[in-house]
Amino acid sequence: MPQITVDYSAALADDFDRPAFARALHTAVAEIAAAKPPACKTQFRRTEDTVVGPDTEGHAVVHVTLGLLAGRTEETKAQLTEAVLDLLRQHVKPGDGLALHASAEVRDLAASYRKYES
C-alpha cells in the first residue's frame, strides 16, 4: 500500500519522465497521506489508442489512480489529487500541438485487500 496506477497515452512516451514522477509522487504520498515511501508501488500502463470527444488525434491522456487503505479524510484525498496534478505539470511536457488531459483520483482499497512480499 499505496497501490498507484498511471495510465498514459502512447503519444507521451518520450514526453513523460515516469521514474522522476514516481519518485516525487511517493514523497508526496508519504508527506500528505502518512504512507511509508518503501511501501509505495507505481505501475505505468501505456495505452495505444486515445479518443477525446470526436477526435482521435491531437490529444493525450494521463490518469492517475491511488489506492489507499481506508481512513484518510476527504480533505487529505483532495490535497493528494492536487499534488498529483502539480507533479504531472512538472513531469509531462507534451509536444507541440498535443492537448494534455490530466486527471487523478484517490480511492479506498476494499476491505478484502491483502498483500504479501517474498
Q: Is 19 exposed, middle or buried (0-12, 13-18, 19+ CB in 10 A)?
A: exposed
pLDDT for the residue 63: 98
pLDDT for the residue 56: 76
pLDDT for the residue 96: 86
Q: Distance (Å, rounded) from C-alpha 8 to C-alpha 44?
A: 8
Q: Distance (Å, rounded) from C-alpha 25 to C-alpha 5?
A: 12
Q: Distance (Å, rounded) from C-alpha 46 to C-alpha 42?
A: 13
Q: How confident is the model at residue 118 (pLDDT cuts 50, 70, 90)?
A: confident
pLDDT by residue (tens digit) across 60-85? 999 999 999 999 999 999 999 999 99
pLDDT by residue (tens digit) across 8-19? 999 999 999 999
Q: Distance (Å, rounded) from C-alpha 118 to C-alpha 65?
A: 25
Under the phi-then-psi rule, with left for phi > 0, alpha for psi from -120 to 50, and beta for the rest, what region is 39?
A: alpha
Q: Distance (Å, rounded) from C-alpha 54 to C-alpha 69?
A: 37
Homologous superfamily in CATH for domain 3-108: Macrophage Migration Inhibitory Factor (3.30.429.10)
Q: How confident is the model at residue 57 (pLDDT cuts 50, 70, 90)?
A: confident
Q: How confident is the model at residue 55 (pLDDT cuts 50, 70, 90)?
A: confident
pTM of the predicted structure, to 2 decimals: 0.94
Joined grid coordinates for residue 48: 495505444
111 φ, ψ (degrees, to nearest 5):
-60, -20
